[in-house]
A and B are shown apart, each in its own frame.
Chain A
Amino acid sequence: MPPILRRAQSFAALLAIFLLAIIISPVAADGSRIFLELGNLTDILRQISLIGMISLAMTFVILTGGIDLSVGSILALSTALTAMFLTRWWPTASYGSHIALAIAAAVAVSTLAGALNGVAIATLRVQPFIVTLASMIGLRGLAKWLTNNENIDIGFGRDVAARFAALFREKAIVIGAFAGAAAVFWTLLERTVFGRQVRAIGDNEKAAEYTGLPIRRTKVWVYSLTGLLSGVAGVLYAAENHQGNPNAGVAYELDAIAAVVIGGTRLAGGKGSISGTIVGTLIMGVLTNMLRLNDVDSNVEMMIKAVIIVLAVAVQREKNA
């Protein structure tokens, strides 16, 4: 099957869920469907933006044949650092540069954490699952230790932290960040040497070695990018929740992996797309929204998602074979 059709297939799944959501949507007093209200649709986008961003980077990791379990812990570390920089350190700077500094520091530390994952995987040749499992545990510990395992409240006053939160929880900013990241990552994968190398390494690492591709450097970059996007997601998380929570982002890695594989990326690497991942993220987001609008128990929601994940991947597998 040509790639166009394969991609159309996950679009079809998204469309089906979208239609179902419209049909079963509760109706407002004026007869309109709540699901279709602009506010609800943008809510969906805002809700998926953080996981969506992480999924973009996770797509690259999985394309190389790897996995990154540490994204949730990196997000927590970034969230905690952002809140700490904003509330506990008082540089004699303007609000603007204070906020910029806090974000830059949190994202830099996150990127560094991702880079360390990449270096360990590429040079020690330990499996990505093991390395990122270890950093998932270790970084969570670091986040809790730095914060004494307490939420760092950002508050709603007129101080720099509150201003930061007010700005970066705007729907336009959050959704814009996701859209921007999606555009950048799509371009990276489809239009650059780096993206080509990512796919080639995941497709056949041995052949990539025989072709002289820079395998180690590429892997370090891929995991660094995951750290970077998890860090950005962490900053937005702090704004959205008005706090730096060292226990944030638990199980985000699993949601991100689910979005990537629903989007048709092969877990063994080499095959996949950013558009697929975006569709996968949207499917999960619309599904959640649809179930919540209809007051479905959140535990039942998890069960339904479980079925969707297996079905989505099984259908694509059959068709691709």
Chain B
Amino acid sequence: MPESLLQVADVDKRFGGVAALRGASLDVRAGEVHALMGENGAGKSTLARIVAGAVRADAGRFLVDGRPAAIASPLDAQRLGIAIIHQELDLFPNLSVAENMVIGNLCFHEGPWARFRRMAEFCRPFLEQVGLTCNPHEPAAALSIGHRQLLAIARALSMNARLLLMDEPTSSLFDDAVERLFGLIRGLRSRGVSVVYVSHKMDEIFRIADRVTVLRDGQTVGTRPAASTSPGELIGMMVGRELDLAGGPRERGRGEVVLEVEDLTTSRLRNVSFTLHRGEVLGVAGLVGAGRSELGAALFGLDRIRGGGIHLDGVALAPRSPREAMRRGIGLVPEDRRTEGLMMSMSVRENASLATLGRIARLGFLRGARESAEFQTVSQQLALHCPSPAACVSHLSGGNQQKVLLARWLLLHPEVLFLDDPTRGIDVAAKQDIYRLIEALAAAGKAVILVSSELPELLRCCHRILVLREGRVTAIYDAAEATQEAIMASATVAGAPT
């Protein structure tokens, strides 16, 4: 039995009110490729970043080579031989390849003066090792994404890394670059370097990993040797969350078709087709980056439509701006309420009325009474809890903030409402309120498109569930006959039955 290089146990981490990790553990042996899997938000990246010293854990025990170790900063991790390749590749785009490699590198003793020739000499063997042939003096920004990743790996190797963490390394790579990356990972393993490979792409894991650890809701479900497990077992471990959500989609006669999407192609979508009926809730499942939000962007005039078409009530729709989409009766509650949704220094009421200012004003002057009255009705409908409508929205809990954003769109009375992960990071009670709201909208004859990372939520709320993978529709399930396993397989496994 090879010995453990890194043992991590009982790791807790909270971000604000949200628990990202709850007693997670991980055991990496010397010279193995260890995959870290889990659904969106399971805590994979957080765990990797804690091990790399980029994020500090609230609690946890860490052993390196069997000895207790404190990893409080990236520098600590570097001394222990741990390096991370972040998803976003934390390079300095305007510094040269060589400068990127030596900066903050304890293995390169830099004097007060920049000595470019010495830098280049220091870098050369590592660049050769990863197969990156480039001028070490050219800026990192001049490299392709794939080459930048090789540079990040070379940088890690030059720090004498014995453990390399890779966070979703193939998310921005094309096929040939993925092949080269896998070859490189195998080469590293043969030299005794351990690789922790964070991913949720099933086919990659079985091609490259020796062992697989699965996280779910911030806890480690288990570790399996890749040779003796199956995609089915891993999916079961990933989604094994009990379906504790009471209720389910109401059985309803479908209304007439309101939205028809045919062969829709944008920068991130390929030939997406579906229909949406009045009174229907259509779920959209898929991994992050599968094109879920991009579908909303296309419908809402935020992304250019390159092919195919959309018909709303039988009339062609090709919005060039959110304003145009809104006029046609489409609403979109964006994924990230803080950066794309709310005005954090404005009041609750001001945030709610922002999409309907024209209606509450006369000759450009706001009518306070009208604004308050409209806010009252929608706030009751949403069971919104706030100290006062004039309170700053930043003081509210995540769930109530989300309700304020929903209020903004409800006031607009859209025919089609696109909800992009509306329950992310909010408490259970607020989730239930949002489910009830979705039901009420459908009952009132509106059409809802619900994007969610939580499969039980989709099964609970939707009539049909559309699954996206790499910009394409891989399956459309009737919610009644769909299972979490089937949806997960359509979202992760290439060539799964559709």
A37 at the binding interface (Cβ < 8 Å): no
> In whole angstroms, what is the CA distance A199 to B326 when docked?
21
* Distance of B76 from chain A, by nearest CB (Å): 30
Determine, out of A127-135, A208-216, A304-312, the stretch whose residues face the partner at the interface.
A208-216
Q: Which residues of chain B are near A207, meaning CB under 8 Å? A: 334, 339-343
Contact B344 A204 (CB under 8 A): yes
Chain B residues in 8 Å Cβ range of A203: 343-346
Provided the pairs A203-B343, A271-B345 are in contact, do residues A209 and B364 lie with their beta carbons within 8 angstroms?
A: no
Instruction: Say whether A211 contacts B364, CB under 8 Å.
Output: no
Complex: A211 Cα to B350 Cα, angstroms = 13
Interface size class of B (residues with CB under 8 A): 20 to 34
Whether A196 and B366, one on each chain, are in contact in the complex, defined by CB atoms closer than 8 angstroms, is yes
Q: Which B residues between 345 and 372 are near A, CB-CB below 8 angstroms?
A: 345-346, 350, 354-355, 357-358, 361, 364-366
Report how far A208 CA is from B331 CA in the complex, Å.
Answer: 14
Let me know if B4 is at the binding interface, CB within 8 A: no
Residue B322 lies at the interface, judged by CB distance under 8 Å to chain A: yes
Contact B366 A211 (CB under 8 A): no
User: In chain B between 282 and 336, which residues have their CB closer than 8 angstroms to a CB of chain A?
Assistant: 300, 302, 321-323, 325-326, 332, 334
CA distance A211 to B354 in the complex (A): 7
Residues of A within 8 A of B302 (CB): 209-210
Choose the segment among A46-54, A138-146, A187-195 that binds chain B (4+ C-beta atoms closer than 8 Å).
Answer: A187-195
* Interface residue from A191, A197, A266, A270 paired with B357 (Cβ < 8 Å): A197
Q: Please pick, from B339, B346, B355, the residue contacting A212 in the complex, using a CB distance under 8 A.
A: B355
**Given A199-B346, A211-B408, A193-B357 contact (CB < 8 Å):** yes
CA distance A193 to B342 in the complex (A): 17
Interface string of A98-119 (1 = CB under 8 A from B): 0000000000000000000000
Q: Is the CB of A193 within 8 A of B341?
A: no
> What A residues does B334 contact at CB under 8 A?
207, 210
Contact A192 B364 (CB under 8 A): yes
Are B366 and A191 interface neighbours, CB within 8 A?
yes
Interface 0/1 of B401-426, CB less than 8 Å to A: 00000001000000000000000000
- Which residues of B are found within 8 Å of A209, using beta-carbon distances? 302, 322
A219 CB to nearest B CB, Å: 15
Query: Which residues does chain A contribute within 8 Å of B344, judged by CB atoms?
Result: 203-204
Distance from B7 Cβ to chain A, minimum over Cβ atoms (Å): 40
Determine if A193 and B361 form an interchain contact, defined as CB atoms under 8 angstroms apart. yes
B340 and A210 form a contact (CB under 8 A) = yes
Q: Tell me if A212 and B340 are in contact (CB < 8 A).
A: no
How distant is the Cα of A206 from the Cα of B344 in the complex, in angstroms?
Answer: 12
A193 to B368 alpha-carbon distance, docked (Å): 11
Report the minimal beta-carbon distance from A58 to chain B, rounded to whole angstroms: 19
Minimum distance in angstroms from B302 CB to a CB of chain A = 8
Q: Indicate whether A210 sits within 8 Å of B332 (C-beta atoms), given known contacts A200-B343, A203-B345, A270-B343.
A: yes
Neighbouring A residues of B364 by C-beta, 8 Å: 192-194
- A210: chain B residues at CB < 8 Å are 300, 302, 322, 332, 334, 340-341
Contact A211/B365 with A206-B339, A271-B345 known, Cβ cut-off 8 Å: no
The answer to whether B355 and A211 touch across the interface, beta carbons within 8 angstroms, is yes
B357: nearest chain-A partner, CB-CB: A193
Q: Which residues between 183 and 237 of chain A lie within 8 Å of chain B, taking CB atoms?
A: 191-194, 196-197, 199-200, 203-204, 206-214
CB distance from B275 to the nearest CB of A (A): 25
Chain B residue contacts of A192, Cβ below 8 A:
361, 364-366
Measured between beta carbons, the chain B residues less than 8 angstroms from A213 are: 354
Contacts of A266 in B (CB 8 A): 345
Given contacts A192-B361, A192-B366, A193-B357, contact A212 B342 (CB under 8 A): no
Within 8 A of A (CB), among B96-144: none
Complex CA–CA separation, A208 to B346 (angstroms): 12
**Given known contacts A192-B364, A192-B366, A193-B366, is B342 in contact with A214 (CB within 8 Å)?**
no
Residues 212-271 of A contacting B (Cβ, < 8 Å): 212-214, 266, 270-271
Residues of A within 8 A of B342 (CB): 204, 207
B289 vs chain A, min Cβ distance (A)? 20
Docked Cα-Cα span, A94 to B49, in Å, equals 78
Q: How far is the CB of A197 from chain B (nearest CB, A)?
A: 7
Chain B proximity of A130: nearest CB distance (Å): 19
Contact B357 A196 (CB under 8 A): yes
CA separation between A209 and B340, bound complex, in Å?
Answer: 8
Nearest opposing residue in chain B for A320, CB measure: B345
| Beta-carbon contact of B322 and A191 below 8 Å | no
Give 8 closest A-B pairs by Cβ, nearest first.
A203-B343, A212-B323, A212-B322, A271-B345, A193-B357, A212-B326, A193-B361, A204-B343
Query: Can you sample 25 A-B contacts with CB below 8 Å?
Result: A192-B361, A193-B357, A193-B366, A196-B357, A199-B343, A200-B354, A203-B343, A203-B344, A203-B345, A204-B339, A207-B339, A207-B340, A207-B341, A208-B343, A209-B322, A210-B322, A210-B340, A211-B322, A211-B355, A212-B323, A212-B325, A212-B355, A266-B345, A270-B343, A270-B346
Kindly list 19 other residue pairs between chains A and B, CB separation below 8 angstroms, not including A191-B365, A193-B365, A203-B343. Answer: A192-B364, A192-B366, A193-B358, A194-B364, A197-B357, A199-B346, A203-B345, A203-B346, A207-B340, A207-B341, A208-B354, A209-B302, A210-B300, A210-B302, A210-B332, A212-B323, A212-B355, A270-B346, A271-B345
